[in-house]
């Protein structure tokens, strides 16, 4: 009887401890903790992720007592339709873009979460490097296209952030694209 009671109390305490606050990550490989996996890759990375250890969002969640919910996907773009329309040939990138990740999140959780439930949650967005690497050849050809494309990416990202605000998030951390010459891999 005592072991069964202890087990039930342990399960209850775990479920209460995991109720928040949450760190919800959207984006690309800078935040992907294994969603894409490394199946079929020449190099098998640690824990099926494109890193040899924990990522920044895992440290942030752990050190600030957040529960991490990660929708990030290695290779993700801001908006696949936009990239496919610009990159020649079309990128064939069918990974969940930022727009897709947010749509998946909101459709999954909108029936269950209220603005009150997420008031202490933090959303992070790390995306953009794949948008530029997939379209680099076209950007080199035309300054006009480069300006248009950059503006369209900002507009798409703004729409995605607006969706998160409308969902009820008040704390959104948007990262700039790092200098890609300084990142590993």
**What pLDDT shows up at residue 156?**
95
What does DSSP say about strands 22-27 and 67-70: parallel, antiparallel, or unpaired?
A: parallel
Range among 36-45, 75-84, 154-163 with highest mean pLDDT value? 154-163
Q: Nearest CA to 91 among 134, 131, 27?
A: 134
Q: What is the enclosing helix (H) or strand (E) of 123?
A: strand 122-126
pLDDT at 118 over 60: yes
**DSSP classification of residue 180:** T
Q: Nearest CA to 124 among 40, 27, 17?
A: 27
Domain formed by 19-174, architecture: 3-Layer(aba) Sandwich (3.40)
Contact by Cβ (8 Å): 96, 74: no
**What pLDDT shows up at residue 5?**
41
Query: What confidence tier does 127 reach under pLDDT thresholds 50, 70, 90?
Result: very high
Query: What confidence tier does 108 reach under pLDDT thresholds 50, 70, 90?
Result: very high
Predicted TM-score (pTM) of this structure: 0.81
Greater model confidence, 58 or 19: 58
């Amino acid at each position: 009887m005592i072991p069964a009671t202890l087990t039930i109390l342990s399960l209850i305490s775990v479920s209460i401890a995991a109720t928040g606050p949450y760190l919800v990550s959207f984006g690309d490989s800078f935040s992907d903790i294994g969603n894409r996996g490394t199946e079929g890759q020449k190099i098998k990375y640690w824990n099926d992720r494109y890193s040899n250890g924990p990522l920044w969002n895992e440290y942030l969640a752990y050190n600030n007592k957040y529960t991490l919910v990660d929708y990030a996907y290695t290779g993700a773009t801001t908006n696949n339709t936009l990239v496919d329309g610009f990159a020649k040939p079309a990128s064939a990138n069918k990974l969940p873009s930022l727009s897709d990740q947010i749509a998946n999140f909101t459709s999954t959780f909108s029936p269950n979460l209220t603005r009150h439930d997420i008031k202490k949650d933090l959303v992070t967005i790390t995306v953009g490097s794949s948008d530029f690497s997939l379209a680099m050849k076209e950007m080199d050809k035309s300054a006009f296209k480069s300006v248009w494309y950059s503006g369209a990416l900002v507009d798409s990202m703004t729409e995605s952030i607006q969706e998160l605000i409308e969902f009820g998030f008040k704390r959104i951390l948007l990262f700039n694209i790092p200098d890609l010459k300084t990142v590993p891999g």
